[in-house]
Structure formats: C-alpha cells, structure tokens
Structure 1
Amino acid sequence: MRRSPLSLLASALLVASAVASAQAPAAADRPFEAVEVARFDEPWAMTFLPDGRLLVTEKAGRLWVQDVATGKRTRIGRVPEVVHAGQGGFADVVLHPQFSSNGWVYLSYAEAGDGNTSGAAVARAKLDLEDKELEDLQVVWRQVPKVAGNGHYGHRIAFDADGMLWITSSERQKFDPAQDMASNLGKIVRLRDDGSVPDGNPFTGQGDVAAQVWSLGHRNMLGIDFDRDGRLWVHEMGPKGGDELNLIEKGANYGYPIVSNGDHYDGRPIPDHDTQPQYRAPVITWTPVISPAGFVIYDGDRYPGWNGSGLIGGLSSQSLVRVAFDGTSAREAERFDMGTRIREVEQGPDGTIWLLEDGGKGAQGRLYRLDPRS
C-alpha cells in the first residue's frame, strides 16, 4: 500500500527528530556518572526490597538478592521452571503493594506448553529471606494460547494505586492474535492480585479470556508505569520502524497489525495510524527505532528537571531516553548515549536511578548506579 503525502511528511519529520536526538551527550557531559556495582548473567529485571536490597532476575531462571551496599549476593531457591530460549526465560519481578505485611512477590517467565510451545506466565510467591527461597508459588495468569517460537512475550508487570495487577501480553510474533478476543496475546491485561477478573473491565461480556483485557492491538510491550495522576503509559517495539509510547485507555484498540508507523521486516508496508483513525495512535513514535526496554516514571529529586519524566532503556539505541510529559501529551526531551544496551530502569528508595545492561546471548550484564554530578 502506498503511503499518503501526509504520512510521508510525518515520517520524514520523525526521522529528522530521531537524528537530532541521536546527537546524545558524551559521557563527560551527562548529568550523572554511571557507576558499575555488580554483574549478572543475562539479567532482565530488578526491583528494590524495603530494606534497600535488590531483587534481580536472570533469564536462565535465577533470582538473586543483591546487597548494593556490601556487594553480597544471595540466590533464592524454589523458583519456577522457565523456558530459556530466544527472548524467553525469567523476566519481570515486582513486589505486591503490601509486600511488607504479606510477603508476596510477583514473577513473570516463559512457561513450557504441549509439544514445542510456550507462553508467558505470571506467578506470585512468598519471599522467605531467612530460608532463601520462594514459598507457596501460585500461577495467577497465563498467555492463551501457548504457541511455537520464542519471541515477544512482553510480560511486564505493574500495580496501580488500587492494587490492581496489570500485565503486558505481547503478540508472540504471530500478528493476528493482537486483534482476536479469544486470545490474550497482543493485549494489556487487568486483574486482581490473585488473578481473578475485577469489575469494570471493558470486555467482560465476550468470554473468560476477553474479560481479562483492558486494551488490544499491541505488538511487543516491554515497559509499563503510571504517572502521578494515575494515567497508564506503555511503550512497545514497532516492527521495522515505529517504536511507540502509548497512553492506555479503557477498551481502546491500538491497531496492530492492521496499522503501524513501521513496516514488516520483509519490506511489506503497513498503513500508518493516520490512515485509519478508528485505531488509537501512539503519543510518540520513533523511526529510527530506540528498541525500548524497561521504563520508570521518575518521582524523585536527585536529578534537576527530571521529576515526572519517563526514563526508557534503549537496546539497539544503547541509550537512556528521557520523556517529558504534559498531561496526555509527551515528547522526547533528552537522550543519553550509554554505549551499551540498556534492558532495565529502576528508581531506588532514595531517588537514585539504577540501570541493568542487557546481557544478551549468555553475556554478563552490568548493574549501574547513576550518581548525579554536582
């Protein structure tokens, strides 16, 4: 399909913007110093415990408690078995909002199915720091259906202010399930903390799987967070071009694979969002892509001008991207060249930003602390 003149102009402007953004500050000019604290084998996600230690997942199926002050590391046992292949493996780790009283930790991972299939799963378990293991593991959600291949699981996790569990369920590189309400692939899912479906989901009349869904038409979502006003923002990888930052709204269809601001990897064009306005368009698109991974909306005060900003890790762009929000609009404000693939971004209890370097294909990935420059 041929692109409209308006679409071509928009694409050109996006490219120009991305090229300008690529002129990232050199390390000496960044407002922070990246300090290496530890190394992990293929790390994927992290979250802070109330005592300031870190929980870190490794894709091969390991969960660690890392003391960032002393360097001591403790491996946690009795974790779920994972499919460690391609993009699959151990993934996100998030604490229940009442972790201090109930001890629940939530984990996402690639789970084996029948034959040569797999799918994302989310489980919760009690974290026993004394015995160094997980107890009472319960699977609270699974992708439906499990499919062949080892890409595009998504499976990022977040809790909102009401204690609802949100999960990004990517489309597993299968395209059409993102529009199929009999599947929860290519969807954002909203559940209670025990995995049951809450009141208020938009598709509860369309079956048990559809009842989980909050929005649809997504590709590969690897970052999710809520802003200070409770708005939900999710970024996703586009196909060949067209990475997205989306403001998520109840029942909205974001169009993939019918529309996208990128094209298929085999060169086939996909109509842009502006050709079919019934689908919700992204607030920001990136072409060339940044390959977004990890996301936090910062609410600290250690970095001047960053409070309320979104911080996105860049894989192919090897960057930390700062996004400035203005209500329901957003723009890329700064891009910092990190010289390496950034898999995860997290905010520490004192407002310090921490990064995990992507340790792809069996490589080690470094844990960085970003110390503000005085």
Structure 2
Amino acid sequence: MLRQSARFVASLLATLLAAAACGQALKPVTIVRGLAHPWGLAFLPSFDSDGRMLISERPGQLRLANTKGELGPPIAGVPAVGAVGEGGLLDVALDPRFADNRLVYLSYAEAAQGGVGTTVARARLDANGLQGRLSELQVIFRQSPKASSSVHFGSRLLFARDGKLFVTLGDLWQRDDAQRLDNHHGKIVRIEPDGRLPADNPFAGRAGALPEIWSYGHRNVQGAAWHPTTGELWTSEHGPQGGDELNVIEAGHNYGWPVITYGAEYGSGRKIGEGTAKAGMEQPIAHWTPAIAPSGMTFLTSDRYPGWKGDLFIGALRGQILLHLQLDGRRVVKQEPLLQDLHERIRHVRQAPDGWLYLLTDSDDGRIVRLER
C-alpha cells in the first residue's frame, strides 16, 4: 500500500544545504584502532563493569575489545568466510539469553559449490578477559541459491522482543530474484534462534514460497533497528546509482526492487524498472540521491545528547557521515550530517549500555569511536 503522506523526497545535496547546525559540541573519541574493516559490534552484558564488546572484521576475524582501548587477539573457532569483494565476516549478535547460554550469532559470506551466499551460524563463546574461543558451531541458515557474486550480501542480525531472529539479505546481484518468493535473494527472513521456522511467518504454507521470508523486493539491506516505542523494524538499504532508502518493514510486504526505485543504472543513468511507484509496492520513508550508502543504524534511547532522544542515526559509507534524523512518527522532519571532518566511512553505529553512541569506521585501520559531548 502506497503511503503518500510518508514520502520524503529530497536529494542529499539539498539535505546538506538545508541541515541546521547540530547545536551540540560533539567529540569523536577513538577507543580502539587497527581493526581490519570492522563490520559488526555487540556489547557484552558485563559492559558496565568491564567495557567489553565483540567486533567482527570482514576478512574473517572476531575480537574482544574494551573501553580502556585494549584489543584482544582473534577469537578461535570462527568459521571460514568468503572474504571477496563485499563478502566476509559480517554482523555479530548476542542471544537474548547470552548471560545464561553464551551463544553468539554470526552472519558471513560462505563459498560453496554454485557460488557464494550469506550464512548464519551460532556458537558458544568462552572468554577470559579479551581472549576467547567459539565452540559447538551450528549453521542455522543458508541463503539459497548460491550465486557467482562478490557483492550484496546484506546482512544485519537482530532479535525481536519475542526472541525471533531477523536476518537482512542482499540480492547477490541477482536483481530479478528479489521479486520472487522461491529464493532468498533480496529478502528479510525471520527464523527461530535455532533455525526452525515460525508457523506465523507471512508466507508459511503458501505454495512456491519459502516460509522463512518476512519481506521481499530489497536490494541490499545493511542497516536495521527496532523503533523503541512502536516496535517497528526500520531498515536502511543501498540503491543503485542513487535511490538509497529508509524503510519500515511489515510482514509480507513488497519493497519494490527492481520494479520501482529512485535510483538509476550505474554509469548510463538509465531508468530501472517501471518508475518510482506501483500499486502493491511500498514507498520508502526517505530516499537519497546522490547515494550515501547507508549502513548500520540505531535509535537513541539515552539522555546523553540533549534533545536527541528518540532520534535515528545512520552510518554512511560513501557519504562518510553519521546521518542524524529527527522524526515525527514515520515522517522525517529534519536530516543533519554529523562528523564530516572525520573523513571516514562509517560502517555501523550502536548505542552502548553507557548511553553513548559507538561507531565503527570501515578501513584497513578501522576504529571504534565513542561520540562524546
């Protein structure tokens, strides 16, 4: 269903010109550096006492670090990953009952016969300080079919309040597959923590459809967060040449790619699909042209930054900014680029238990940065 009132039509250039000054003196403080293209970030339950967090690095390492600036060695037992192009070790998430079961979830590009695809596995973490080992590794999801691709793997992991696991998946450069329900390309899936399929998924029992699919018509979803008051799933998605999107995800809905998009073909600028709107396909809450390559995102729920509680923050890779969005329901009322002087690709942003925003910068000398004021 089209939501005309929810449309936010503006280019990034117009946004940058119109953005007001943030009014807060922000201080990006480097906590850890020397990471190889960090991708995912998870805070341990003991964070308040020891500042420990897990960081995934795309070439295939998982490490523990702390807020003292200490970085541990690679954790043993991480599965082999297909570290080619955009692929590798992607997101990391903790089981909601991690304090009891010590289960860690990983998404990663996995090479196999037929190509590569996004895989999700879980394992038990045994840690002593900043040293750790994974054991009892269990694959709980594999994207199907594999494809010959080095791009568009997604992939964010996040647990819902009811304990179900959501996995965002890219289209593996197989764009037309995003509109079909017999594959995992360009989908968001919902599974149980052990990989079983929930009976109440929107396509469960539908002939020709994979029952784990929650939504479809996506290109490459690299950011996802739960709205703190409504409980809605919000995502950021890479468009082609322009047309990056911010969406609110609803069960069973079609988000249009590649039939509708605000982007164009790389290089030629030719139109993709049928235009920017079509009945039965969702409109984004916001979209960006030129592209900013939005990645990890989070809603602020702390009081660390006066006046910003409830706002949305999105890391941008191509844009090399932290994008601050003020919202009125599902309407973006203000966009504000932050940290332009950092000159870093911002892969992820998360709010830590201490209330500060922590960022990951994507480079050979990647950093964990705490945004103070």
For 1:233, the aligned partner's letter is: W
Residue equivalent to 1:111: 110
- 2:346 maps to which of 342, 347, 362: 342
CA distance in 1, matches of 2:24, 2:289: 24
Give aligned-pair identity as a percent.
40
Establish whether residue 51 from structure 1 lines up as the match of residue 46 from structure 2.
yes
Contact 2:166 2:191 in 1 (8 A): yes
CA distance in 2, matches of 1:309, 1:118: 36
How far off its partner does 1:315 sit?
A: 0.7
For 1:106, the aligned partner's letter is: Y
Q: SS where residue 210 of structure 1 aligns?
A: coil
CA distance in 1, matches of 2:319, 2:18: 12
Q: SS where residue 185 of structure 1 aligns?
A: coil
For 1:79, the aligned partner's letter is: V
Residue equivalent to 1:128: 126
- 2:10 maps to which of 7, 14, 17: 14
Q: SS where residue 270 of structure 2 aligns?
A: coil
How far off its partner does 1:30 sit?
A: 5.1
TM-score by length of structure 2 reads 0.90
Describe the superposition over 1:10-54 as per-residue Cα deviations: whole angstroms up to 9, x where unpaired: 99x623x64342577899x75310011111112111111111111
CA distance in 1, matches of 2:365, 2:335: 30
Mapping of residues 203-352 of structure 1, within 5 Å: 203-206=203-206, 210-228=210-228, 229-265=230-266, 266-270=268-272, 271-274=274-277, 276-336=278-338, 337=340, 338-352=342-356
Mapping of residues 185-204 of structure 1, within 5 Å: 185-204=185-204
- State the superposition RMSD in angstroms: 2.1
Q: SS where residue 178 of structure 1 aligns?
A: helix
Q: SS where residue 113 of structure 2 aligns?
A: coil
Contact 2:238 2:245 in 1 (8 A): yes
Mapping of residues 34-183 of structure 1, within 5 Å: 34-39=28-33, 40-52=35-47, 53-69=52-68, 71-114=70-113, 117-130=115-128, 132-183=132-183
CA distance in 1, matches of 2:80, 2:248: 34
Change in Cα spacing, 1:23 to 1:35, as seen in structure 2 (3 Å) is: farther
Contact 1:18 1:286 in 2 (8 A): no
CA distance in 1, matches of 2:98, 2:334: 34
The runs of 4+ residues in structure 1 deviating greater than 6 Å are 23-27
Q: Which runs of 5+ in 1 are unaligned?
A: 1-9
Contact 2:294 2:317 in 1 (8 A): yes
CA distance in 1, matches of 2:17, 2:222: 21
CA distance in 1, matches of 2:313, 2:177: 29
Q: Which runs of 5+ in 2 are unaligned?
A: 1-6
More contact order relative to length (CA 8 Å, sep ≥ 6):
2
How far off its partner does 1:348 sit?
A: 1.0
